[in-house]
Structure 1
Amino acid sequence: MKRTTQLFSLNKTIMLRTILPTLIALIVAIGGGMVSVYYALDHAPGFGALHAGQWTAYPAAGTPQADPYTKARDARSGTLALGVAEGVTFQASRDTAGRLFDRDCTYRITGPTPPARFWTLYAADRSLAPLPSPPDMPPAIHSRQLLRHQDGSFIITVSPKAQAGNWLPISGSGPFVLVMTFYDTPVGNSTGLSDLTLPKASLVAEEGCHD
């Protein structure tokens, strides 16, 4: 009886020594896989990116040629991507000095836009959901409502405080993303890539900003 008990204890010890490392390995593998997928979807850049200064676009998004990460992001967020012939969406998360956009700060957007029938600009969170806007204020600015100078140029002020002229309000705290979409534009195909320039978003010096 004693020998049987000893054999049972020995077998139990051997099983624990075998199963425990296996369980730990599975937990590490599954947990590491989940973390890596989360990082890839939220931080890793996709393939086929189109860069223009601070701005980045993925013209292949919404097409069969889109990379798996872009497809997964669109599926998770429920975003309906534009086709190449419909338009291109650009995103910017940093100012001209390379600092993340901060909702406590004020920014000035100036410069030329590529040819397009119509374009929109809005401020969003990291999931690209528009930030809440004040009552009676639209969440976005579009090209047909801008106040322009005589030469056609414009200035858009992005700020949590009300501003004269073209004001794009931001709210809350933390980082944000600027999303600019051009409709009916050649930017999405190879004929629209030469000398591509987009407006610049520069920080307006302000006390308490980026403290």
Structure 2
Amino acid sequence: MLRTVLQVAIVLLIALGAGAGSAWFALETTRSVGSVDIGAWTAFPRSGTRDADPYARARSARLGELALGQAEGIGFVADQDDTGAPLLRQCDYLVEGSVPPVRFFTLYAADPARRALSAPERFSSALHSQSLLWEQKQQLRISVSTSAHPGNWLALEGRGPMLLVLTLFDTPISTGGRVDEIALPRIRRMGCDA
């Protein structure tokens, strides 16, 4: 009798541990259930729709985010560069390439909890499509760094891990296009402070 009770208790502990662990993993990791990866960028295209899975809804609630509806836009998050190395504030990055057809977009740096990072005094901690200098053929070139760069510069300060958050507003890809078939800017590490 005691042996049966012990076996049931062990099975229940394993089941509870595995269930809690899988839920934590689905909520805490950048890449998870329902995510779409495009290069270094990750999106949850269904998070603001009726088709959103319970994990996407729980993730938005836990982060305190207001998920964009399908007709409003789509958000992408990068926690690594194109080589798979984690994004760090003490490193210099170049975000370059094209953006899908969009009415407006924003780019900002955030901490792992997705709170926007502060910038040095008198500098912007976020950029938007209306304030950028564009290269030929509508190509972007944005320096993300703690030190000033000519052209488009997303100013950072401090050290430690970070995320880049790219939000596309009023774009056809969020309402009917296949999100996984678009091209997004590349994130290249240019160097790091020791």
- State the TM-score, normalizing by the size of structure 1: 0.78
| Alignment of structure 1 residues 71-110 onto 2, 5 Å | 71-110=57-96
The alignment partner of 1:133 has SS state of coil
The alignment partner of 1:73 has SS state of helix
Q: Deviation digits for residues 73-124 of structure 1, max 9, x if unmatched? A: 1111110000010000011111111111111100001101100000000111
The alignment partner of 2:177 has SS state of helix
Pick aligned residue for 1:111 from 80, 97, 102: 97
| Alignment of structure 1 residues 159-198 onto 2, 5 Å | 159-193=145-179, 195-198=181-184
User: Aligned residue pairs: how many?
Assistant: 194
The alignment partner of 2:100 has SS state of coil
CA distance in 2, matches of 1:32, 1:108: 40
| Alignment of structure 1 residues 1-211 onto 2, 5 Å | 33-43=19-29, 45-193=31-179, 195-206=181-192, 208=194
Quote how far apart the aligned CAs of 1:148 are.
2.1
The alignment partner of 1:144 has SS state of helix
- State the TM-score, normalizing by the size of structure 2: 0.84
For the 8 Å contact 1:46–1:67, the answer to whether it is kept is no
Quote how far apart the aligned CAs of 1:154 are.
3.0
Q: Where does the alignment leave 5 or more consecutive residues of structure 1 unmatched? A: 1-14
Q: Where does the alignment leave 5 or more consecutive residues of structure 2 unmatched? A: none
Quote how far apart the aligned CAs of 1:193 are.
4.2
CA RMSD in angstroms, aligned pairs only: 2.7
CA distance in 2, matches of 1:207, 1:130: 22
For the 8 Å contact 1:110–1:154, the answer to whether it is kept is yes
For the 8 Å contact 1:128–1:177, the answer to whether it is kept is yes
CA distance in 1, matches of 2:155, 2:149: 9
For the 8 Å contact 1:124–1:130, the answer to whether it is kept is yes
Quote how far apart the aligned CAs of 1:191 are.
2.8
Amino acid at match of 1:147: L
Amino acid at match of 1:149: E
Greater mean deviation of Cα atoms: 135-144 or 83-92: 135-144
